[in-house]
Amino acid sequence: MKDFFNIPIGLISRVDKTLINSDAAKKGKSQQNKENTAEIHTKDGRLIKLSFPRDPKMIFQFSKVMEHVTFFDTTNPMQLKQLEMAFPYSHKIEINQLNWINFSDGWLIYSDILGEAKRQGIDLKRQSKFQLIGNVGYKLCQTYPNKIILPRAIN
């Protein structure tokens, strides 16, 4: 049996905490809930209930961490920067005179389409399943490179 399970952060919809009433506990009054609990509600309907010691400090720390990593405040510039750094597509590189020499356009890896086809084991001979099409002047498609490898069945 596993001692753990994974919940993707994006799947968490809500985190609730329930604290015991310390005044009622001191007076000896009966309570329904004898411990501090945190409930994690997921978007797929699961409910994970965690128990914490009577000291409320631990559940407050847990709650603070869960809210910080799960629910971003997009109005907070610091948290927004952390969110941007989490996803590579949002990284921004400032191009200027100093770093232009080291900048390389990622599309240049496709400049040698024949070498790339050979690397992938694609045969471009007459009887093969693939053909090399010229996109001269980008008339076929403006967003595709000037040479395209397509299945031969496509006209």
45-100 per-position pLDDT tens digit: 999 998 888 778 888 888 888 887 787 776 777 776 776 666 655 556 666 666 66
Token duo for residue 45: 């309907």
Q: Where are the domains of the chain?
A: 9-90, 106-151
Which residue, among 33, 40, 88, has the nearest Cα to 65 in the 3D structure? 40
Q: pLDDT tens digit string along 101-123?
A: 666 666 666 678 888 888 888 88
Rg (CA), the chain: 29
Find, among 143, 144, 139, 152, the residue nearest to 113 by Cα.
144
Global model pTM greater than 0.85: no
93-118 in b/e burial notation, b at 16+ Cβ within 10 A? eeeeeeeeeeeeeeeeeeeebeeebe
